[in-house]
Homo-oligomer: A and B are copies of this chain.
Amino acid sequence: MQINKQSNKPYYEQIVFGIKEDILKGILIPGDKIPSVRDMAALLLTNPNTVSKAYKELEAQDVILTVRGRGTFVKDSATSSPSSKQMDKIKTKLQEAVVEALYFEVPLEEIQSWVKQTIQEFGGEINGNY
């Protein structure tokens, strides 16, 4: 995992997203201890406060569990069901991306293929009749 310092995306959001990616990819599994705030900051060449902010956000989203004095752990993903608010947010984000693509005349097949690729890369088993 790395922070793209050129991106206009805040560092802490990149960390939040990166952790989720690692969980989806199976690099991190439920129960795993993730690096301490300080270690992660050293790894990512950023400030501990920034990592701390990311971890707090991840905890608010029920992705990790942090125990004072002991560390931070990956939660069971089954536990974390999104609120309808989060659901709406995700849906809107997806739709906006699609509209954007359509506007710039990305061929439909390509849009579909991007989605499929991502699902295959991150989504694990896919039903045959899809």
Contacts and interface: CB of A to CB of B under 8 A. Distances in A.
Given A17-B99, A104-B90, A5 B111 contact: no
A98 B111 contact: no
B111 A100 contact: no
Q: What is the interface of chain A mostly: helix, strand, loop, or mixed?
A: helix
A20 interface: yes
Nearest to A66: B8
Given A94-B115, A108-B119, 10 more contacts: A24-B102, A83-B83, A87-B106, A93-B93, A94-B98, A94-B118, A98-B115, A102-B119, A102-B123, A111-B115
Given A65-B6, A94-B97, A96-B17, A102 B115 contact: no
Interface in A31-49: none
Interface string A100-115: 1111111011011011
